[in-house]
Chains A and B, each alone.
Chain A
């Protein structure tokens, strides 16, 4: 990636590739938490729809999921109180998982920024503004968000769903489950949440260091 194509995006890709192990572990942990968040969100939507529509089993279309879910449903006899508790539980779980995801990205980016303080100083010294250096880091964070979302949706979700289905099938009855529904709005929303979460955590992790004068930041890098 050189010449006209050497731009901040290729700079960010080079860095992610260079620190491949860290990039992969970040993507892996973030995609698992995101998959949980998408799962609980979809179940939340499923339960809501179930309650609203009060009809039979909601059919989902999770890529790679198995039919086992058709056996699980909200218990028709479930009381309003229990349904409400279920909704609250799912909402809290989703929120908690997203907070964890935020700290995963924040921690990764904060470590990366600290290790790259000399690099930031050099970029500032050769004439990049605070906004331009920030843009490089945000592109990197945004890429982590997009890759993690893709992995979460197409690998993480089927894995978690099938695992949950298997565990429930081994249970002694009395459990209920809702078929998760992944539709376009939820996919788009989860992408926006994933990228937004990465951008915010990257911004918070890097802005203080980037704003420092280059003479304070610059130390030997290579």
Chain B
């Protein structure tokens, strides 16, 4: 087992809004091994984008990283002194914390001395070691410059090249991502590129400095399915050749199945299940993951009707007490309204499979889930009763 390339531990990013504190990311931990594609999956608003921006410390006011640690190789991207974060370590039942008063600003945690300075982040990490590809290829390129010029600026900034050499490197990168006629398209402006082509340009930019890690924030969400397929193939091909690791943010389980080695499922700022991609799909351990899988069509199963997840995700400003998913969980029992389980290993053999659900008694013996009363807060009508209203 390699040392992980990236380690995220108990990362917390909160937004201090006028209405109160939004715990967009509330203590997530995961790691990325060299050459691995790790998925971060969840519905809109689960905190995926904030989580990956926190890794690069790109969160903007009123958001702030308030706790946890991010290590990249031997460098500390985020790290705080222990005593300053003590107030935030509330153990298993985190949601029992009294909510912060609206507008109150608790003291900022004190950064550890080894935490990289902002200029070190800028010069050594961002773009250099860790690149990020954003969701919307239509908006991620500056409309006033040529595509080649932007790529070249980026190469000049992060690599020791300038002038002609930088230009040639830029054209080379455009070729690398299979943009036809790269030499000529170098001179084109972003509006002359289609969505798929722009996403290729962004991938070229991300790869330009041969980073060890690329964070892809829903890079194919804005594209149609055939283009998405081509982009995924391209990424896999490049990943094999460059050995780059990826953190792949998406809400699409199909993309996860296609590209990821390991998956982290996020719900309301927390990771609820962590597993290898096969284990996740075939031995699902968390009801939320199960619900996500039930809500998409699967080619290997014939179902009469897709099963959307009931209800909407609660607001992160006021998460439910106990397990955050209990308001929508078909398996919720009384104990779930009281205890918020952390992510624990539920299948030990092979790659660790972790889940945050009390129904795994072996991992959560103290909860006594099966003795608890089912709350049945989401009793659904039987499938055959569903069509009644229409008839």
Tell me if chain B binds chain A: no
